[in-house]
Structure formats: C-alpha cells, structure tokens
Structure 1
Amino acid sequence: MRKLVQILSLFVIFSLSLFSQTYTIEQYLNIKSAGAPTVSPDGKFIAYLTDITGTNQVWKVGISAGCPEQLTFFDERVQFVSWNPKDKYWILFGKDLGGNERTQLFLLKSDGSEIKRLTFKDDVIYNFGTWSDDGTMFAFTSNERNRAFFDVYVMNIKTGKVDLIWQNDGNNYVVAWSPDNRYILVSQNRSSFDNDLYLVEYPSGKAVNITPHTQPARYMNPRFSVDGRKIYLLSDEGKEFVGLAYIDVKDGKLNYIYSTNWDITTFELSKDGRRIVFVLNVDGYSEVYSLDITTGKVVKLGFPSGGIVGGLRFTNDGRKLIFTYQSPVKNQDIYYYDFVTREVKQITYSSTAGIPISSFVEPKLVRFKSFDGLEIPGYLYLPKNAKKDSSLPVIVSIHGGPEAQELPRFSALYQFFINNGYAIYAPNIRGSTGYGKTYASLDNTTKRKDAIRDVAMIPEFLKTTGYIDPKKIVVYGGSYGGYMTLAAVTFYPDLWAAGVDLVGISNFLTFLKNTGAWRQKHRMAEYGDPEKDAEFLKEISPFYHVDRIKAPLMIIQGANDPRVPKSESDQIVESIKSRGGVVEYLVFDDEGHGLAKLKNRIKAYKAVVEFLDKYVKDKKMGL
C-alpha cells in the first residue's frame, strides 16, 4: 500500500510539473501550420503553403502517402498556389517583395526543377483569378493601366501571350471561368458588403451585369455548374445571413438552395457537379454539410469539431475532399474526408515545437451587454488552474477588418501569454461579421464611436468574472484592431494599463489619402468621405487627441505597408514623444501589413513580452 501511495504521489507531482512548465516565446512562434491546398489533376498530390522555413513556401506531398517536398526557397513569403487543372507538371504561385502586396506571378514545375516568372513590373499588382477549363490559359486582373483600378487579362501559358479582355474603372477580380471557356466571371467590389458579378465574354470582352440590385448585397465564391447553365454562389441578397444559392445564367434569377440564421462561409462543388459541401459558421465554429444537388438532401458530415474548417478542394474523382482544420488547441493542418469510407485522415503534420498539445487552452464563448443592451460575443481564455482572486492580467485582443470575425483559431501568441499567466479576451464587437448583416453595419461611418464604446465596456465586464486584476488590463490589436487600440487608450484613458498597436490607423484623414489607390473608395465606404465627413473623421482619429493618452504604448509597423502606411505610426509616435508620453516603436524595413518573417516575429513579440512584463505583469496591485 505504501508503495502505491508513493507512486501516486510521484504521478501527482509529475502532472503538476507538466501544468507549471513554461516555454519560450521562440518556441511558440516556431509552431508551424499548413494551408491553402491545391490538388493535382491526377488526384495523387497536393501542393500547399507552410511556414516550416520561417515564411510560407510551396510544398508538395502525396495525399495517401509520401514525404513532404519543398518546391520553393525564397526569403519572401509565397502568397498563393494553384495547380494547373489539366497539366500535372505545372503549378502557379504568387509572391510579393517585403510585404508590399505587389504580387508577381510565377509558373513552377511540380518537381521543383524550374520556375518561370510571368509578370515583370514590380510596382504593379497581378491578382490571379482562375484557370481555363483546359489549363492552357489563366485569367487575372492588374492595375498596370491605372493604380486605382483592375482590368481583366488572359495569359496563354505556352506562348506567354497576354490579352487585355476587359478594361474597366472598377475594383475587379476574376472569380470563375465557364467550362466551355466562353465566359469569364468577374466580381466588381464597391465595399466589403456590396459587389456585382459580370459575365465577360471571352475573347470579345463584352460584359453583362448578372446581379443588378438596389440594396447592398454580396455575391461570393461563385462556381459554374458542369453544363455552364448555372452559377452556384454564396449571397445575402434580401437576407440577413449568407446562404447558398444559384443564378440561372439565361435569366439571371437568384435562387436560394440553403440558408439559416448563420452564415455559410465557404463551399465547394464536386467535379461531376453532383455534390456541394459547405461550411456553416455557428458562433465562429465550423459545421460541415453535404448537399446532394439532384435530391436536395442535406447531411451533416463527420468532420472535426470545435474549430475552423476551410480550404475545401475535391479530387477529380469526387471521392475525397481536401480541407484545412485548426482549433484553439490544434495548429492548422491539411486533411481529407473520404466519402466512401466516411473517414477523416490527416495529410500534413505541423510541428508544435516541442510544446505539448495538452498545455494549450480552449476558450469559453461568453457574452456581455454593451452600453445600449447589445450582446457582444467573445472568447475568454484563462490559464489552467486560474483562481477567482482578481489577480490575472488580461489582454483584450481586438480583431482587424473591421469586416472580419474573431474565430476559435489557433494562436501561438495567445497560448504563450496564457501559459505565462495572462488571460485573453477576444471579442466580436459591433461591426464584426458572422452575426448577420445588421450587426456588421452597426459601426459604419458615424457609428464608429459605438464600436469604441463596446471596447470600453469590456474592462467592467471582465471584473465581474472574478479572475481579472482591474489594474492590469491591456488592449491589443492589428490593422483596424490597431486603430481600436489607439482609440481605446485615447478616448477611455483610465481603463488600460498598456496598449499594443500593430500597423494601426491613427488619423483617418491621412490614412484615406495615403492608403493604396486601389483601396481608397473601398475604405471610404466603411469609414467615411474625407471631404464630406472631415470633422467627424478628425473627431474619432486618435492623432488629434494624443494629449489624453495615459497608458504606455508599443507600436509595431512594416515599412512597406500599402494598406496602413508607415506614416500612420510615425505621426502618432512623434506626437506622443513630443508630449513626454511613453511609447516604444519598432519598424521592420522588410515587412508590410503585418509580420511575415519568423526572425521579425520573434524580435517583435519578444519586445511585446518585455514591454507587458514591465508595465503590466510586474505592476503591483493598486499602483
């Protein structure tokens, strides 16, 4: 009996040591992921992107078996990859320089032996669209003629000949090509919640709008039916939530197939046209369904739960569906679902850098009522064995967009801070997607202050949980989340112990003037017109109210950022310093809108950790 007690005691001690084990920020940032799968025409391989080397590069692996093989070896990130639908020997990919988003296009031999550059103007953006059905051509858009607009082009990959198909002063993207190669489908985007689809005849360039509408609506992810008579797509025309629909090419009528009180986030059509698989977004978590096009029957599939499914790609025989999966406690990898055996099998195995999965923490989905009674959902992460003694520092993480949604994704950074004694609260404040068209519009233009007030309500809500030290609340975010960070510490200065802003907007007037020419109208639709709304934009811009800031700030910026230019960070840093405020500033000369390179992520987030430990974690209660 004594021996048994000793063994049990040793087991308890060992278990507690596992829970108390901490790991370095370098380890967490070396956790890898795999995504963006594209399937070879013979169905034997996938090409995909993974950051094993520190930036996303193209890799290849057999679907059923085989060792992963690296195909590209750049210092810069690869942005996308697409396998030729008919020629197993060629893969298309895109790459920019230093995060500047001026994407250039390349052809890659599928054994990695040859790379052909296809575009050669480094100051121009080339947006890949889709392949022709026979794989001899691909359609793309480019702002070569005018940096504010994207025209439609077609390139023949054998001859290299490029033809301008549709010249149009709009924000255009190629989204599909009909099976008979007769029509290229183009999405013209006016805002994040309003676009039209144009059928552009190839090669004449004659264009017809097939989605005329009066109220804002989205028409997304279109796919031609096998016979080319229908276009399957996602839409919220006349609806609160995004549903699955089709447009009859002949009469242009929109017909809904499936809709509910949650958004459908993505879908894929099998190559034989008999099956659609779609993903439902239920409070951020993915549910996957199969729809039989002939019978209309919908069946829920046995996919992994508790996380996010994406990257859907059928093999040509329709038997397997390739997909990506991640959850708060599982870094993203690529899997397949077999429709015959109904089994899910993992294809890629991304490293967790020696950190046990058992140490990762799941969040709780919680809601609080904002100033006007609106319920705000969010994810609360607590360290293991957290106690209700009001002692935890917390990071309030605001997502970017704003037309986006905080999801139960894997975040190495979240898990690092949780493992080191911080709580994380990641809300979907008003203006977020995933909760209906009305909710997403509640922060538009002059309603921006209401979204800021949502953030200001969070500290009081967190106090009620019993876990949080009210003197140790940090606000953190990137891009639009960076703006909300700056706005929070400016307009509600007494609530925050510190703020961390990555590539955030500080002044809407200068931002709308200096952001990429192709983005200006799109952003005005969300934030306001700098001429008509100048006074209001000044009112909500932190730059004009720097004197109110009390909390220490850390600001991180990429020098090549085309979305939120470096000048946005420069000007507020200079203003804070001139007033004697506390601000630490890191600029990365080889980055854009965010940090793509591992060495830079390590440098930046080590600095963030030191900053927060100095100003927040080690701060004494009540001081």
Structure 2
Amino acid sequence: FNYISVTDSQLHIINVETGAIRQVTRDATPVAYGNLQFAPDGRLWVSSDKDSDVQRLGLLDTETGLFTPMIDGGRWDISSFDISKDGKTIAYVVNEAGFSRLYLYDIASGAKRQVTGLPPGEIGSGMKFAPWGDLGFTVYSNQSPGDAYSLDPATLKVTRWTESETGGLDPADNVLPELVEIKSFDGEAISGLLYRPDPGKHPGKRPLIMSIHGGPEGQATAGFLGRTNYLINELGIAVFYPNVRGSTGFGKRFVNLDNGPFRRENSVKDIGAFLDRLNRYPTLDAKRFGVTGGSYGGYMCYASAIRYGRRFNAASCIVAISNFVTFLENTEEYRRDLRRIEYGDERVPELRAKLEEISPLTRVDQLKIPLMVVTGANDPRVPASEADQIIDAVRSHGGSAWHLLARNEGHGFRRKENADYLFWATLAFWQQHLLGEQPGAAD
C-alpha cells in the first residue's frame, strides 16, 4: 500500500509475473489500510478505518475497492491478525489503551472467542498460524520481555516456550502498569500507564518521572521497560507514560486532535490534567516530579517544563525539537512534507508565526528548572542544531543545562557504550534533582 500519513493510505495490486501495478482503492477522504492478507479462498482481508473511527477487520473487493467490515473491536483498533492455513479461523489482536487482547474468529459462523491467561502486555506483529494449526506469537510485558507463546485454537490452551535473557534479574520482580484514565481540560478522555515502586521496599511518598512518547503518531503500550526498571525497583522512582491527544491507538479522530500549530498546545495541556490527577495519589510526592521525552516527546518535554515549571523539578529532553520552524527547514527532505502535514507548513506566514510562537526556544526565558539535553551529532530527523540553540539560550538566561552529545549517533543512541553512558548520566541527573543526592552518591 502507498502510505501517505497515519490516517491516509491507498492499496495497489501488483502482478508478480508482469510487474504491472493497479490501484485498487480511490477514497475521496483519507482512509487508513493495513495488515493485508489473502485467505486460502483468494479473498483479501485487510484492517481499515473506512467509515469508522477505529481500525476494523474486513474483506476488500480487489476489483471495486469496496471494503466490507466483518470484525470490530468496539471502540478500539484491531492492530494485527493472521488467517489459519485451512482458512477457517482468524486470530486478531485488539489494542485496548496499550494492552493487547487476543481473539479467535470463526469465519463460517462469525463466532468470537477471547484468549485468556496471557501476561498483561503487548502482542508483537509477527503472529502466525503454524501448518499444523497452532498459533505462534510473542508477548512483551514488563514481566515477560519478548517471549514466545503458542495457542491451541481448539482448547485455547496457552503455552509459553521461552524465558528471555534478563542479565540474571528476575522479571517477575518488575511491577505491572496501572491504567490511569482521566478527562482533560476540555473533557477529552485521555489515559496513560503508571508504574509504582513496591511500597514494601520503598515506603512513603515516591518521586515520579513522566515519560512522553515521540511521534507524535505513537503510543505508550504495556511492553517491557528494560533498564527503566532500575529507576522503579532500585531508586524507588515511579514512572508514568501518558498518551496525550495525537497518540495512535485511540481512533483517527483522536490522532488528529493535535494537528497543526493552533491545536498543538492542547496536547501540552493534557500533561497538566495528568499532573492534577497524579498529584492526588497518596503514594506519590508531587514536590518531586520530573519530565522526559524523545523526538516529538522531546518537544513535549521542553514545552511541559516551560508551562509547568512550578510542578516539575527537572527535565531531560532527548533528540528534541526546540523550534518548529528551524526543525522543518533543517530536517531531511524525505521527511519534510509528512511533518508539515502534522505540524503545519512553515512556508505559510500565518502558520510560521504560530509555529514560532509555540516553540520552546521562543519561550526559553520561562524555563526555570534544571535541564538535561541529549542529542546525536548525525541526527537526520531532528538536527543537532536544535539542541545547540536551546542550550545556548538557556545558559544565556542564567539557567542550568547539562548537554550530552554523541558524535557517532543519530536519532537516538544505538551503540552500547553510548547507551550505557547516557543511562548512567541520566541516573545522576535524576538522583540530584529528584532524590536530592549528589551524582554518584547511590550504589
């Protein structure tokens, strides 16, 4: 399929013998398609939000382009599916606010069965039926970090086949997420995932880090947290992952709520609504909250630190957009048009003015809390100049800014030595500003 944006794609059929390409769908308004699969009977099953706010599963007529929905997940997206080799059963996954629910669908009768007994987490996209009939899939949860499972479709018996390597640590010691659902400033329903330290090991009110996903067409899901568990298990810091408006997984209306510069700051206001709720948790210390995020989440990190500087103690912003205009002008050309759809076209004077107005760099004099900025010198998406300009501006206004630059990295740290250095540097930052310790004071 031809991907145009997260809410717009068109399907084509390719003749593998001749190489001829024929466009199948020609929707007048944006429609998203995905997860294409031919059944043994030759019919094409696809997921689509055609005539719906969420992704449903159905049949697509390859001659007319007509989509007929057959299976829906209620108010949630169907995120993946597979068809059994005998063509009788479809296994499909529903994404419920970041948690995967697995179902089986009998094609002949239309009957549905839900699979239970799985860890609360996320089912990977590589789900497949075996030739002998069992369903294989991978589950990512904070207590099952990427393990292989199988399902007997007849009995719904689940078998776990692997115990993933975790460096000798017991993943069962990791906490599972709590779903936090609230109404935002304008009544919009938003949610996030909260991980709280074991109160037996870490009694009293605990500090919290709010970690905002990038994208913005992304979603915080209930997967494996990896080294972030050190913050929770060893330092006793709670971690919260918000899904503000503009996140995927909550329908196409929701994902479009932040589009353009005039609605962009509504997602930042969602952070304020989450703060209002989290401040009321008796086990959380509202006087010791931090914020972090990467890429677009890095913009959200800057913007939240500015707007809610009295409610956050510190901010660690990673490969972050500091000025939308300079970002759009300097990001790689292959991404520019797609980002203009999301943020607004900086070549239009009215949009340019608003993009400048809402950019963190414009309001840097309001950034009063300690800042850590992380970037890769070779980043093609968010150029290192985005970090340089805000570091200079913060310091020129007398602010505190740590700056970690990796000269051999791009959009995020991938080399182990750099990732390790970043982790320890970030720990030192949080220890100082959330735990009141000098860097290196904790073992």
2:63: which partner in 1? Answer: 250
Matched, 1:397 2:211: yes
- 2:122 aligned to which of 308, 317, 320: 308
State the alpha-carbon separation in 2 of the partners of residues 581 and 205 from structure 1: 60
State the partner residue of 1:326.
Answer: 140
**Secondary structure of residue in 2 paired with 1:287:** strand
Alignment partners' CA distance in 1, 2:162 and 2:283: 38
The Cα shift of 1:295 comes to 3.1
TM-score normalised according to structure 1 size? 0.66
Aligned to 2:407: 589
Matched, 1:464 2:280: yes
Equivalent residue letter for 1:561: D
1:240 aligns with 2:46: no
| Alpha carbons 1:286, 1:305 under 8 Å: kept | no
Structure 1: which 5+ residue stretches go unaligned? Answer: 1-186
- Per the TM alignment, residue 486 of structure 1 is displaced from its structure 2 partner at its CA by 0.8
Contact kept, 8 Å, 2:376 with 2:413, in 1: the verdict is yes
Instruction: State the 1:262 CA deviation.
Output: 1.2
Q: Secondary structure at the match of 1:592?
A: coil
Instruction: Measure the CA separation in 2 of the matches of 1:388 and 1:355.
Output: 19
Residues 79 and 93 in structure 2, CA contact (< 8 A), matched pair in contact too: yes
Q: How far apart are residue 311 of structure 1 and its match?
A: 3.1
Candidates 532, 545, 548, aligned match of 2:366: 548
Per-residue CA deviations over 1:270-293 (Å, capped at 9, x if unaligned) read 334332211011222111112222
Structure holding more strand per residue: 1
SS at match of 1:482: helix
Q: Is 1:276 paired with 2:90?
A: yes
- Cα distance in 2 for residues equivalent to 1:226 and 1:536: 53
Is 1:437 aligned with 2:252?
Answer: yes
Residue 133 of structure 1 is matched in structure 2 by none
Which residue type is aligned with residue 81 of structure 2? F
Match of 2:300 in 1: 484
1:294 aligns with 2:108: yes
Q: How does 1:42-441 map to 2 (within 5 A)?
A: 187-202=1-16, 204-228=18-42, 230-259=43-72, 260-302=74-116, 304-314=118-128, 317-339=131-153, 342-385=156-199, 391-419=205-233, 420-441=235-256
- Residues 390, 463 of structure 1: 8 Å contact kept: no
Equivalent pair of 2:268/2:304 in contact (CA under 8 Å): yes
3-state SS of 2:51 partner: coil
Whether 2:330 is the aligned partner of 1:514: answer yes
Partner of 1:103: none
Q: CA shift at 1:410, angstroms?
A: 1.4
Per the TM alignment, residue 390 of structure 1 is displaced from its structure 2 partner at its CA by: 7.3
Report the Cα distance in structure 1 between the residues aligned to 2:65 and 2:187, rounded to whole angstroms: 41
Matched residue type, 2:340: M
Q: What secondary structure is seen at the aligned counterpart in 2 of 1:412? A: coil
| CA–CA distance in structure 2, aligned partners of residues 574 and 525 of structure 1 | 30
Distance 1:336 1:315 in 2: 9
For residue 316 of structure 2, the aligned residue among 469, 475, 500 is 500
Bigger relative contact order, structure 1 or 2 (CA pairs below 8 A, ≥6 apart): 1
- Give the residue type in structure 1 aligned to 2:347: E
Q: How far apart are the structure 2 equivalents of 1:567 and 1:530?
A: 18
Determine helix, strand or coil for the equivalent of 2:298: helix
Q: Does 1:473 align with 2:289?
A: yes
Give, as a single letter, the amino acid of the residue that structure 1 aligns with 2:249. G
Q: Write the distance in 2 (CA, Å) between the matches of 1:515 and 1:273.
A: 46
1:451 aligns with 2:267: yes
Cα separation, 1, equivalents of 2:50 and 2:154: 36
CA drift of 1:353 comes to 1.8
Cα shift readout 1:221-276 (whole Å, capped 9, x = no counterpart): 11123354x32111001101111012111222111010122111111123343322
1:203 deviates by 5.6
- Whole-angstrom CA distance in 1 between matches of 2:236 and 2:187: 32
Deviation per CA, 1:369-406: give whole Å up to 9, x if none: 32222232112221111799973211011111111211
Distance 2:418 2:390 in 1: 22
Taking a change above 3 Å as real, the CA distance of residues 590 and 270 of structure 1, as seen in their structure-2 partners, is farther
Contact kept? 2:324, 2:359, Cα under 8 Å: yes
Post-superposition Cα deviations, 1:452-497, rounded to whole Å, max 9, x if no partner, equal 1111233332221122323211011111111100111123332210
Structure 1 counterpart of 2:131, which letter? D
Change (3 A) 1:347 1:596: farther
Aligned-partner residue type, residue 525 of structure 1: I
Change (3 A) 1:269 1:364: same
> Is 2:340 aligned against 1:524?
yes
Q: Tell me if structure 2 keeps the 8 A contact 1:394–1:473.
A: yes
* Contact 1:365–1:380 (8 Å) recurs in 2: yes
Q: Percent identity?
A: 36
Q: Aligned partners of 1:313 and 1:615: how far apart in 2?
A: 43
Q: Which runs of 5+ in 2 are unaligned?
A: 439-443
Pick closer, same or farther for the CA change 1:305–1:534 going to 2, 3 Å. same
What is the CA-CA distance between 1:436 and the residue it aligns to?
2.1
Cα deviation digits, residues 200-233 of structure 1 (max 9, x gap):
44465544322211222201111123354x3211
Q: Secondary structure at the match of 2:425?
A: helix
Deviations 1:164-213 (A, max 9, x none): xxxxxxxxxxxxxxxxxxxxxxx222211111112244465544322211
Rg comparison, structure with higher value: 1
Distance 1:314 1:458, change over 3 A: closer
- Aligned residue pairs: how many? 433
Q: For 1:272-328, what per-residue CA distance to the aligned partner results, in whole angstroms no more than 9, with x for missing partners?
A: 433221101122211111222233332223451411112334355152322110223
Which 10-residue stretch deviates more, 571-580 or 479-488? 571-580
Secondary structure at 1:366's aligned position in 2?
strand
Residue 558 of structure 1 is aligned with which of 376, 379, 385? 376
Task: Pick closer, same or farther for the CA change 1:356–1:201 going to 2, 3 Å.
Answer: closer
TM-score by length of 2: 0.91
Shift of the alpha carbon at 1:616?
1.9
Q: 1:214/1:318 Cα in 2 relative to 1: closer, same or farther (>3 Å)?
A: farther
DSSP-derived class of the 1:352 partner? coil
Are 2:424 and 1:606 aligned? yes
Matched residue, 1:575: 393
Q: Structure 1 residues 274, 561: closer, same or farther in 2, change over 3 A? A: farther
Q: Is the 8 A contact 1:396 1:425 kept in 2?
A: yes
Counterpart Cα distance in 2 of 1:499 and 1:374: 26
